[in-house]
Amino acid sequence: MDQYIEYLPVIIPLFIIQIILSITAVIHVIRHPNYRFGKKQVWIPVVLFIGFIGPFIYFIFGRGDD
């Protein structure tokens, strides 16, 4: 257990960044009707369930023109 405590200063900021990215991506998916690929029903699970990479996938490939 003590070995994991030394990694907390790295894990906690990464966890916070992932939560912020996921929330930002979900809000963007909900508010914008245009996507390059797929639909809203596809992008919300991608953002939420693919972890750290899901929001990046959405912002690179899914976000349509405003």
- pLDDT, residue 42, reads 86
> What are the tens digits of pLDDT across the range 32-65?
887 788 788 888 898 888 888 888 888 888 776 6
| Residues 6 or more apart in contact with residue 52 via CB below 8 angstroms | 14, 18, 21
- pLDDT, residue 2, reads 75
- pLDDT, residue 66, reads 59
CA distance 64 to 35: 4
> What are the tens digits of pLDDT across the range 2-21?
788 888 999 999 999 999 99
Helix, strand, coil percentages for the chain (3-state, nearest 5): 75, 5, 25
Is residue 65 a contact partner of residue 37, using CB atoms and an 8 Å limit? no
Range of 26's domain?
2-62
Residue 51: strand, helix, or coil = coil
- pLDDT, residue 54, reads 87
- pTM, two decimals, is 0.76
State the total domains in the chain.
1
